[in-house]
Amino acid sequence: MRLNAYLARAGVASRRAADELIKTGRVQVNGEPGQLNTFVERGDRVEVDGEPIAAQELAYVLLYKPAATLTTARDPRGRPTVVDLVELPERVVPVGRLDADTTGALLLTNDGPLAHRLAHPRYGVEKVYEAEVEGRPAPSALRRLEVGVELDDGHTAPARARLLAPSTIELVLHEGRKHQVKRMCEAVGHPVRRLHRSRYAGLTLEGLEPGAWRELEPSEVNRLRGS
């Protein structure tokens, strides 16, 4: 694997920060200064500031993200983040984003290739949202959500929509645009009051309370890799 990815897997730094460590000559591979294009093979010795490091075990976590929590690894203003909630020896980061006021299913991992796969639009990972909205959506509004609405960054892909309550819409999407659910609902005249992601890539929050998390079962990881 590429050296910056190896450093990230070892919990030393993010890939971007790892690049800076490499550029400043603080990383050695088998006794030689590491380069940005260095690849680490099994059995290679990697050191940072003279201290040997090793890549962490792969970890996969499903978190019930609570409100008022940022979907990021750290915040310069000291606000709570989703990473603060997960206590593992491995350094995991969120796959994709949920707004600070949005609750629900969030995956965190240090498996870069899988995270990239799940986040890439090509694979159309299913995301299920429950949106409490203003007003009472009519069947015509739901049909518009299903066939797609025009946003400032283009027409949305077909979705599934149904009412769970007079002012609560369930939306099933295979896209992941910024603020997409909020923008879609506003486009059909029903701004979102509260938003919750009940399912992500087939993973549900069963048995979890807000702020709680669990590690995925091997069978769940295998299913994600094949999704």
Task: Give how far Cα 227 sits from Cα of 17, 125, 155, 159, Å.
Answer: 30, 7, 25, 18
CA atoms within 13 Å, Cβ hemisphere of 29 = 19
Residue of 75, 99, 111, 152 with catalytic role: 99
**Tokens read off for 49:** 């500031």
Residue 65's DSSP bridge partners are 104
Closest listed residue to residue 94, CA positions, set 78, 74, 62, 71 = 71
Has 99 been annotated as catalytic? yes
Q: How far apart are CA 2 and CA 6, in angstroms?
A: 6
Please name the residue ranges forming H helices in 78-201: 82-85, 112-119, 139-147, 180-187
Task: Give how far Cα 8 sits from Cα of 5, 64, 188, Å.
Answer: 5, 24, 42
Please name the residue ranges forming H helices in the chain: 3-9, 15-23, 82-85, 112-119, 139-147, 180-187, 218-226
Catalytically active residues are 99
